């Protein structure tokens, strides 16, 4: 008799684990019931990682042998032991465990069950997150976290600063456990009403863990000995999950506004997690979406077809729902391997850089759109440079709806836009990656590269021509426009507040200091100017002209301290970007993949200008990323068309 029989889409299987000694055979009974009836049948859900495919062990389910992996076998033994000893998990409890309760060989059933997983965890009376077996480090970490959580505030400060520094390896190992970085465990952490962590025979409630984590973050931030802990992916992800959980509570309890927590917000903020199947990076986020999941028309599907098709559906669904193209601006923050065959305009969510290695991850996004972090506005939208970025700061397309047509051709997105120019010259502060396609573009040199912190330009193209671009830009664009570009300003707003009137004058004097008295500048600011010397001082003659012009300009004797502080944050903000000058002598900021000759477009429905690179096929472009271009960030280009109606070009993104 087979273990599985077909079940209806809204039905689930539940396990009852027989009591037994720790090392005795696991024996279970499996029953089925409607998920809607589980209010009468209480159950506990198990959150765990599947682990290695071998070795395989056998358990008994309904008197039938069932194969399970090693990690699940250990988890089953532990949860059998805690029944009747942990609040909310009585003896004889029913359990929902995905690898057993779902017929993994039935793709249709798996799709239905995966679509319900968020609801399954949300309806569970208790969820147990099994982190692994009881090793010394794991045991010590659980004790440390419990002690920090249960202490008074003053005692917690002392513990973090002095009391547990000898146990930091245990904490680092604890946060390196794979559970923290699995895609599915994000929803399993957030959705249950009550969650216990289980490591060996040690348990810890989620609310106690969150209190301990908050105190760790607060009191260890400035302590260098905690760096190995801060840099673990698990510590980064635990902090993100804590903030998402708190943010969801705030959204759902806010009766003044319609609840909204879009899918792309989760994928951008919590992307980069591990999943056996890449499409699960999207499917695992669907239950966390508030208000528009059904509108997206995305349903888990495990039949034929690659993950790229799923990622493309996410983009098309989001565009159809929002009438906005901004989601494509996240594509350049998603490194992809050529073998993925992912279109340039589709973010590759499994490799999204938000998890990366930097616990200040939102600073490392190369995209302007990525800096609009909606997960926790008060704490996170500052993007590392103390400037809150509102949802509609930039409106390059002046509110025009996305001009996207349905296209059955996989990998192609049809849109419309206006050309704003081409990149005439670039400078920056990162090590350029060699690109084979660079040699295919006529008249285009390779991007700048850094040697010993000094930017140099490749000499196999016309360097004098490039210097001319910078010189003309400095002649035609006042320092005010250069500073507006540096801080990503817009004509009528300085992000969330008005730009200080003295910043332009300050910037002129900062140029002067960088040339005449560089020792007076702080290290970060001086490094920024060294990296951008080809932009600011394209030649000795241009440098002399700047000095002469500034000497003749009346102004204050010193730069304001607020401006010096701002320059530090500017350096952080620009470390993944390149300054550019367009062929029309306009200042701009490009993503790090840009090259001289790339085309700057304003696409209908996109709040940011984008960089496109022409392909061999006429009318088809690869998306390089978004950019900032001074003078068009408030929709100025839309007014250029006859009778106020812009004449758009057809564009095919591939």
Question: In this predicted structure, what is the pLDDT of residue 68?
Answer: 96
CA 198 to chain CA centroid, nearest Å: 28
Question: In this predicted structure, what is the pLDDT of residue 358?
Answer: 35
| Alpha carbon distance 388, 379 (integer Å) | 9
Nearest to 47 by CA among 80, 4, 95: 95
Nearest to 353 by CA among 343, 362, 342: 362
Contact, 431 vs 450, CB < 8 A? yes
Contacts of 147 (CB under 8 A, 6+ apart): 159, 164
pTM metric for this prediction? 0.77
**Strand, helix or coil for residue 49:** coil
Residue pLDDT, tens place only, 465-514? 545 555 555 555 566 677 778 777 776 665 545 556 666 667 767 777 77
Nearest to 235 by CA among 355, 135, 142, 352: 355
User: Which residues in 403-503 belong to E strands, given as ranges?
Assistant: 413-428, 449-451, 454-456
**Strand, helix or coil for residue 15:** strand
Nearest to 357 by CA among 539, 230, 484: 230
Question: In this predicted structure, what is the pLDDT of residue 613?
Answer: 96
Question: 522: which 2 tokens?
Answer: 């702080």
Question: In this predicted structure, what is the pLDDT of residue 562?
Answer: 66
Nearest to 180 by CA among 108, 248, 235, 106: 235
Question: In this predicted structure, what is the pLDDT of residue 392?
Answer: 55
- Tell me the average confidence (pLDDT) per consecutive run of 10 residues in the chain, 654 residues long: 89 95 93 85 95 92 95 96 92 95 93 93 96 74 94 94 86 93 94 95 94 95 92 91 83 66 73 81 85 67 78 87 85 67 86 43 40 36 38 75 75 92 73 33 32 32 50 58 75 57 68 72 71 58 56 55 64 70 85 89 92 92 92 81 68 94
Residue pLDDT, tens place only, 250-268? 777 765 666 666 777 777 7
Pairing of strands 587-591, 577-582: antiparallel
State the alpha helices, DSSP H only, in 330-460.
Answer: 377-380
CA 612 to chain CA centroid, nearest Å: 22
Contacts of 296 (CB under 8 A, 6+ apart): 263, 289, 314, 317, 318, 321
φ, ψ for residue 204, nearest 5 deg: -150, 130
Nearest to 570 by CA among 623, 651, 506: 506
Sign, CA torsion 230/234/237/238: negative
């Amino acid at each position: 008799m087979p273990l599985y029989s077909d079940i209806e889409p809204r039905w689930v299987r539940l396990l009852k684990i027989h009591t037994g000694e720790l090392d005795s055979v696991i024996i279970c009974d499996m029953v089925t019931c409607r998920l809607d009836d589980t209010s009468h049948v209480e159950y506990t859900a198990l959150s765990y990682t599947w682990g290695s495919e071998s070795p395989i062990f056998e358990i008994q389910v309904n008197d039938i042998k069932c194969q399970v992996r090693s990690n699940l076998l250990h988890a089953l033994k532990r949860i059998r032991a805690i029944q009747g000893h942990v609040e909310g998990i009585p003896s004889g409890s029913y359990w929902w465990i995905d690898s057993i309760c779902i017929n993994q060989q039935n793709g249709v059933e798996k799709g239905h069950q995966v679509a319900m997983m968020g609801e399954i965890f949300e309806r569970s009376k208790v969820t147990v997150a099994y982190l692994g077996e009881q090793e010394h480090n794991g045991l010590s970490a659980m004790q440390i976290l419990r002690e920090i959580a249960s202490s008074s505030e003053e005692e917690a400060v002392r513990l973090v600063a002095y009391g547990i520094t000898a146990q930091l390896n245990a904490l680092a190992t604890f946060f390196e456990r794979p559970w923290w970085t699995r895609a599915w465990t994000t929803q399993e952490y957030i959705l249950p009403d009550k969650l216990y962590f289980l490591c060996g025979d040690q348990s810890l409630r989620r609310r106690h863990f969150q209190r301990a984590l908050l105190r760790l973050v607060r009191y260890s931030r400035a302590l260098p000995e905690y760096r190995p802990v801060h840099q673990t992916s698990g510590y980064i992800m635990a902090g993100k999950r804590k903030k998402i959980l708190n943010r969801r509570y705030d959204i759902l309890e806010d009766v003044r506004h319609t609840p909204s927590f879009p899918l792309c917000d989760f994928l951008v903020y919590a992307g980069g997690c591990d999943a056996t199947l890449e499409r699960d990076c999207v499917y695992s986020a669907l239950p966390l979406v508030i208000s528009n999941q059904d509108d997206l028309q995305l349903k888990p599907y495990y039949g034929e077809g690659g993950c790229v098709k799923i990622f493309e559906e996410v983009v098309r669904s989001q565009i159809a729902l929002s009438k906005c193209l901004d989601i494509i601006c996240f594509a350049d923050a998603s490194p992809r391997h050529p073998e993925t065959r992912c279109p340039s305009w589709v973010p590759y969510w499994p490799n999204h850089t938000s998890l990366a290695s930097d616990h200040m991850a939102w600073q490392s996004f190369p995209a302007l759109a990525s800096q609009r972090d909606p997960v926790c506005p008060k704490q996170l939208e500052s993007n590392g440079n103390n400037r809150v970025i509102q949802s509609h700061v930039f409106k390059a397309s002046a509110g025009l709806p996305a001009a996207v047509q349905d296209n059955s051709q996989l990998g192609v997105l049809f849109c419309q836009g206006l050309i704003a120019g081409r990149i005439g010259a670039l400078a920056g502060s990162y090590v350029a990656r060699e690109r084979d396609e660079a040699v295919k573009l006529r008249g285009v040199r390779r991007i700048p590269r850094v040697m010993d912190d000094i930017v140099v330009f490749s000499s196999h193209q016309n360097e004098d021509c490039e210097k001319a671009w910078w010189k003309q830009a400095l002649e035609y664009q006042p320092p005010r426009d250069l500073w507006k570009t540096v801080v990503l300003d817009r004509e009528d707003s300085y992000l969330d507040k008005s730009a200080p009137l003295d910043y332009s004058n300050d910037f002129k004097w900062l140029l002067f200091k960088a040339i005449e008295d560089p020792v007076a500048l702080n290290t970060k600011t001086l490094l920024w100017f060294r990296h951008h010397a080809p932009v600011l001082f394209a030649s000795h003659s241009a440098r002399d002209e700047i000095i002469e012009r500034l000497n003749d300009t009346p102004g204050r004797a010193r730069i304001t301290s607020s401006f010096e502080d701002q320059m530090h944050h500017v350096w952080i903000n620009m470390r993944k970007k390149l300054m550019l000058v367009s062929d029309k002598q306009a200042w701009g900021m490009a993503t790090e993949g840009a090259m001289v000759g790339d085309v700057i477009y304003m696409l209908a429905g996109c709040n940011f200008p984008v960089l496109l690179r022409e392909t061999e096929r006429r009318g088809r472009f690869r998306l390089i990323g978004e950019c900032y271009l001074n003078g068009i960030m408030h929709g100025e280009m839309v007014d250029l068309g006859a009778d106020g109606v812009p004449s758009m070009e057809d564009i095919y993104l591939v």
